[in-house]
Chains A and B, each alone.
Chain A
């Protein structure tokens, strides 16, 4: 009877294997936890194999890892075409229909998904130094993922996308601009047809944390990698006290923009992110908490 629960993917796993066969995390290492409670996600070991259905995925490399799939005849995966690194000629590649092409175009999201069906090999990689994060999903489980972090999913994982609901505007009139610090849309993946595997690419290192009900924390909006759908997120605007610097003539334009995450549920952050750049006055925003120092 297998009673080991992988501390990273939270699924029943094989304690005798060197790596978790579902997510690739090393089994024989101590958990690395910061004083504040962030758990460092260990990188998938070079050449570790993940099993799903009759197929498996092997992770090659550690700087920009490659996910190499050996697909069995009835298994398939889907992905954005720009992550395709190589394929065998006999692997079937077809377009996957997508809804809302115009909105996706406006949001800068990939317009085309590709289905790869076995039998055959196909390999995927992203374009940043970082880690491949595997999230095995049980039947009925859902996960929210920040846009552009999705690498691939098995065919039985349903893909949908929704507005992130986190935004603010600057300027006025013709110069008004709407900003989406967490992306205009978020990807939502659900295992509605049995268990499956979701693979993400996380630039930099990855840290995870479990939030208790009502517990909240502030993070850089673009650092969020994924969250349980039970975790709520909103803007938090923080205005440092103006210490008399004349060139910050308007205290409203000198601020920090945070994402407030509120539990319960699991959240993961990546260590590479892009902070919001502009310092113009915020004229409107989605629901936000505010603090003036």
Chain B
């Protein structure tokens, strides 16, 4: 058996792409000297499976995730990432809660649910990469707002408000993070990262300072707080803050972002 180095799933010998996340199995990992690993670049038209459904990734500049839903399966997403769908695929809405607070935070307060059978496709609107994150039971992952593309219905969706006035005012991560949790069943989560996506696993207590706009996802075990740098920016000499990540756990970043500091 071949173990996928990205999602750790087992694959039959001779398989060139992981059947669980689509990562190429016949290419060496690309890891920088400091330990950042590039998210696997999915081959055009690669397929992988979750539950009884199949996802095919099309394109490389702004990839499209095309999902063939099994009759018993469903996925949910923010409605503006929907690219096309079979006419017969039913859509319903799911209230996320949070109402007015979510509206103030610029976040949707409903997500859309699509149920099988049928085909449906998603993409975001910037050059970047699809990040496929199969979630084992009992996992919790925090994702920056508006980076989530689609998730399987076995993944519980919630959101957490970023705490602390300094984090809210200077953190640059917005007011909320999406939190995805798997309870008793595995699930599938797809993100869209702008530019290139890199991941690093922090040891317990290990810290890294990340531009908040570059933050994409993290294990919920990773602590995140705003850290003021000894720098002044802009003509008003604003302080500069970075997101201090403290392990243990994975941190994912994207290389293209709108930085949050004033010029």
User: What sequence of 0s and 1s flags, for each residue 79-99 of chain A, a beta carbon within 8 Å of any chain B beta carbon?
Assistant: 001101111110001110000
User: For this complex, into which size category does the number of interface residues on chain A fall?
Assistant: 35 or more
Q: Is the CB of B33 within 8 A of A61?
A: no
B72 at the binding interface (Cβ < 8 Å): no
Chain A residues with Cβ below 8 Å from B182 are: none
Q: Is the CB of A125 within 8 A of B195?
A: yes
User: For this complex, into which size category does the number of interface residues on chain B fall?
Assistant: 35 or more
Which one, A60, A87, A88, A93, contacts B198 given CB within 8 A? Answer: A60
Q: Is the CB of A93 within 8 A of B36?
A: no
B232 at the binding interface (Cβ < 8 Å): yes
A-B contacts, CB under 8 A, total: 118
Question: Chain A interface: which of B74-82, B92-100, B252-260?
Answer: B252-260
Kindly provide the distance from the CB of A176 to the nearest chain B CB, expressed in whole angstroms: 25
User: What sequence of 0s and 1s flags, for each residue 61-103 of chain B, a beta carbon within 8 Å of any chain A beta carbon?
Assistant: 1000000000000000000000000000000000000000000
Given contacts A63-B196, A82-B259, A89-B209, contact A112 B234 (CB under 8 A): yes
Q: Is the CB of A81 within 8 A of B233?
A: yes
Kindly provide the distance from the CB of B155 to the nearest chain A CB, expressed in whole angstroms: 27
B20 at the binding interface (Cβ < 8 Å): no
Kindly provide the distance from the CB of B124 to the nearest chain A CB, expressed in whole angstroms: 14
User: What sequence of 0s and 1s flags, for each residue 225-263 of chain B, a beta carbon within 8 Å of any chain A beta carbon?
Assistant: 000011111110000101010000000010111110101
Which one, B31, B196, B229, contacts A64 given CB within 8 A? Answer: B196
Bound-state CA distance A47–B210 (Å) is: 20
Q: Is the CB of A61 within 8 A of B255?
A: yes
Q: Is the CB of A85 within 8 A of B214?
A: yes
Q: Is the CB of B127 within 8 A of A111?
A: no
Chain B residues with Cβ below 8 Å from A58 are: 32-33
B207 at the binding interface (Cβ < 8 Å): yes
Write the residues of chain B forming the contact surface with A, with a CB cutoff of 8 angstroms: 30-34, 36, 38, 61, 127-129, 194-196, 198, 207-211, 214, 229-235, 240, 242, 244, 253, 255-259, 261, 263
